[in-house]
A and B are shown apart, each in its own frame.
Chain A
Amino acid sequence: AQSVTQPDIHITVSEGASLELRCNYSYGATPYLFWYVQSPGQGLQLLLKYFSGDTLVQGIKGFEAEFKRSQSSFNLRKPSVHWSDAAEYFCAVGGGADGLTFGKGTHLIIQP
Chain B
Amino acid sequence: GAGVSQTPSNKVTEKGKYVELRCDPISGHTALYWYRQSLGQGPEFLIYFQGTGAADDSGLPNDRFFAVRPEGSVSTLKIQRTERGDSAVYLCASSSLGSDTQYFGPGTRLTVL
A-B contact count (CB 8 A): 60
- B-side interface size class: 20 to 34
Chain A residues with CB under 8 A of B50: 97
| Contact present for A49 and B42 (CB under 8 Å) | no
CB contacts (< 8 Å) of B43 on chain A: these are: 44, 90, 100, 102
Q: A46 interface residue, CB < 8 Å from B?
A: yes
User: Quick check: B55 and A97 within 8 Å, CB to CB?
Assistant: yes
On whether the beta carbons of B48 and A97 are closer than 8 Å, the reply is yes
Total interface residues in chain A, CB < 8 Å: 25
Mark A86-107 against chain B: 1 for CB-CB distance below 8 A, else 0. Answer: 0000101001111111111100
Q: Which A residues are closer than 8 A to B by beta carbons?
A: 4, 32, 34, 36, 41-46, 49, 51, 90, 92, 95-105
Q: Which residues of B contact A (CB under 8 A)?
A: 3-4, 33, 35, 40-46, 48, 50, 55-56, 59, 91, 93, 100-107
